[in-house]
Structure 1
Amino acid sequence: MPARSVAAALLTVFTWMSAAHAASQSIPASAGGQIEFNTPSGNIGCIYTPKGGTSTYQPRDGGPELSCSRVEPSYVTVILGPKGPATLIKNPGEQGCCGDVTKLGYGNSWSRGPFSCQSSTKGLSCTGGDGHGFFLSKAKATAK
């Protein structure tokens, strides 16, 4: 078997094994319907708000909404709505991220409504139903 075929076969097996080991993690909602989770490092924290919001918070477009913040090396927040690109806020002013909530384990995924997130040692990647999303890590913050 040529080396290129062996490499392609190994890549296929590795990709399948990685996907097979990714676990979907269920995170309970609060009484108001919001879901909060952090990455294991405690550097990134997210809040999911359902469509219609809560008694204390209404998303700008009615929701649902996923808002994630990164603490280090600089505090940033990314907000993803049900449609359109994520908004990256490089100086959100507030800094209330990452309390004592459920950790989305490395290698695990979470989804609710149109949103899905994947946690890894490289960072947190989240997308909406329309393909827009973001990536947060200590090294970078990108929104699309």
Structure 2
Amino acid sequence: MMMRTLAMLFALSVLTFAATSRAQTGPIGFQSPSKNIACQYFDYDKQNILRCDIAAMETKPRRPADCDLDYGGAFEVNAKGPAMRLCHGDTVMNKSLPVLGYGEVWQRGGFTCKSEQAGITCFNADRRGFSLARSKQEVF
């Protein structure tokens, strides 16, 4: 009986570890309930970065002359320092990201993001970041 219990506990711990390992192999981040905003967390050589993209905006800013790619819908902030709007040729929009429900908070690597019906606000430890909504995007 004791051996059967130990075997079941071992099997359960292996399954739990496997599920946890699988969960960590995909992208780390979230998407808004409307699926209009997606954010992903990256750790490049111990440099934490949070990037958020917004798919639909009422108005897009003018693309800078030195940007030959897309501009206006991607935002990035490092763990320290200011946030910025990106010139980009890729996206972090990913349908497999979990939804961050309205009123919920997401935290990882020194970043905090809050989901509200008005949009998503994210900031770093320096309280620098961005607020994203279909009607307005703001870097602070």
Identity percentage over the alignment? 32
Q: What TM-score, normalized by structure 1, do the two folds share?
A: 0.65
Q: How many residues align?
A: 106
Q: What TM-score, normalized by structure 2, do the two folds share?
A: 0.67
Asked if 1:46 corresponds to 2:39, the answer is yes
1:28-74 deviations in Å (ceiling 9; x for gaps)? 96327x5121000000001001352xxxxxxxxx5201000000025
What is the aligned partner in structure 2 of residue 88 from structure 1? 85
What is the aligned partner in structure 2 of residue 68 from structure 1? 52
What is the aligned partner in structure 1 of residue 69 from structure 2? none
SS at match of 1:42: coil
What is the aligned partner in structure 2 of residue 140 from structure 1? 136
SS at match of 1:30: helix
Given candidates 103, 106, 124, the residue that maps to 2:102 is 106
Gaps of 5+ in 2: 1-21, 61-71
In 2, Cα distance between the equivalents of 1:38 and 1:46? 6
Shift of 1:95: 4.4
Question: Please, what is the CA RMSD of the aligned residues?
Answer: 2.1
What is the aligned partner in structure 1 of residue 63 from structure 2? none
> Judging changes above 3 Å, is the alpha-carbon distance between structure 1 residues 87 and 29 closer, same or farther for their aligned structure 2 residues?
farther
Gaps of 5+ in 1: 1-27, 53-61
In 1, Cα distance between the equivalents of 2:23 and 2:113? 16
SS at match of 2:88: coil
Greater than 2 Å deviation, 4+ residue runs: 28-32, 91-96
In 2, Cα distance between the equivalents of 1:101 and 1:113? 17
In 1, Cα distance between the equivalents of 2:23 and 2:47? 16
Work out whether residues 110 and 118 of structure 1, in 8 Å CA contact, stay in contact via their aligned partners in 2.
yes
What is the aligned partner in structure 2 of residue 19 from structure 1? none
Q: Which has the larger radius of gyration?
A: 2
What is the aligned partner in structure 2 of residue 79 from structure 1? 76
SS at match of 1:84: coil
